[in-house]
Amino acid sequence: MKKIFLFVLLPFYLFSQPYFNIRVEQIDFPGLPSVQSFVLGTTEDGKWVILGGRIDGLHIRMPFAAFDPAFNNTNIFVIDPIQKRVWEKSIGGLPAGLIEQLQSSNMEFFQDEDRLILIGGYGYGVTKSQFLTHPYLTVVDLELLANSVINNENLVPAFQQIEDARMAVTGGQLQKSDDYFYMVGGQKFEGRYNPMGPNHGPGFTQEYTNEIRKFRLQSNGLEYQISDFEAIHDETNLHRRDYNLVPQIFPDGEFGFTAFSGVFQHNADLPFLNSVDIKPGNYEVNNDFSQLLNQYHTAHAAIFDASNNQMHTLFFGGIGQYYKNATGSLINDTDVPFVKTISLIPGTPTGKWKKTVCRCKCPDIWAQALNLYPILICNFYKMAF
């Protein structure tokens, strides 16, 4: 029996300090597919569209078995979460470039109205007979794709793909502000993954982008083109991947994003603790802030309190260097394990983040997002430490 989880946020303010009740509810869903590192889009009528990723869970940490193509997700799923129905259709029959990218892991993606933008992704490429980061940007017509899967029709018209070496990125994050897309961080990984490093066994090359890549996506009615490309390079502060890039409304009312935590530091296999605010005209590193919880890419929610001009961000589970044990003590685990933490980073009217922890008791299995207690209540308080 597969399960999905919904949460309800009930905010109110006590002496101007943020306080939230979070209720997580488990819903049984027979037939729900098990996919990891996938892409998600939503149709106008609320159906979920899932592409890419893997069906064997977290990648195996052995070179001969890591990212085994036999366990790539080669289906497109359309899911009705209300009626609990699932439709699926194989990507077989699509052009080679699409087949390879659409079964890759850790693509960057962003839903722009009824378009789903896919970039990069890592996996095995049959055409080049090697593991690589795919050099593609693909535009998906979500409504057309969902209908094609449901009605078992031709998938080709739902896709347009551009080959561009600048799009060979995996593990970064993609957002959009006005007419510009922002692809932040990530890496180009070539060769088969080996936890012992690039010079052992089959070997690989790993090149972080260290960049904010900003561009527009334009169409002449027949095809899409990437234009007005600009790259901002910062090897010190943008050297991160597998993190959360969260929309923000800053205290001056400007819209942008915050790159939270991520991995890895230059001199240690540990997450970054600072964050980076990204605006259309500039970026700013927050070195006076430390995010101690939920540091890898995970489920998150951005919440803006217009009355107090404050931005709050919630993070759910994932992987982190720090977590709270059963007695409430903060544990620093440099092995950076899966965690069962739900944390809140509340902002202030000045835009400064506060270090926060979750004062809640969550089941251990939450770390892997598999099985939760039917109802879970977590209370959040602003706490500095």
pLDDT in tens, 176-203: 999 999 999 999 999 988 877 777 767 7
Considering only residues 198 and 86, tell me which one the structure prediction assigns the higher pLDDT: 86
Widest Cα–Cα separation across the chain: 62
What is the rounded distance in angstroms from the CA atom of residue 163 to the CA atom of residue 138?
9
Average pLDDT over residues 124-143: 95
What's the mean pLDDT in 327-352? 83
Distance CA 23, CA 110 (A): 27
Name the nearest CA neighbour of 100 among 131, 146, 79, 78.
131
> Does pTM surpass 0.85?
yes
Of 71, 3, 63, nearest to 33 by C-alpha is 3
* Phi-psi label, residue 242: left if phi above 0, alpha if psi -120 to 50, beta otherwise: left
pLDDT band of residue 18 (cuts 50, 70, 90) is very low
Kindly state the tokens that stand for 373.
């207690």
Banded model confidence at residue 1, pLDDT cuts 50, 70, 90: low
Given pLDDT bands bounded at 50, 70 and 90, which one contains residue 380?
Answer: very low
In this predicted model, which residue has the larger pLDDT, 219 or 16?
A: 219
State percent of the chain over pLDDT 90. 63
Q: Give the model's pLDDT for residue 327.
A: 87
What three-state secondary structure class fits 365? helix
3-state secondary structure of 165: helix
- pLDDT for 385 beyond 60: no
- Residue 15's pLDDT band (boundaries 50, 70, 90)? very low
109 contacts 116 by C-beta, under 8 angstroms = yes
Using the predicted structure, report yes or no on whether residue 227 has a pLDDT greater than 80: yes
Listed range (59-68, 119-128, 298-307, 319-328) with the worst mean pLDDT: 59-68
Task: Give the integer Cα–Cα distance in Å for 347 and 354.
Answer: 6
pLDDT, mean over the chain? 85
Q: Which helix (H) or strand (E) holds 20?
A: strand 17-28
290 closest CA partner among 197, 356, 212, 219 = 356
Report the distance separating Cα 222 and Cα 219, nearest Å. 7
Please tell me the predicted confidence (pLDDT) of residue 352: 60
Q: Which residues contact 374 (CB under 8 A, 6 or more apart)?
A: 25, 26
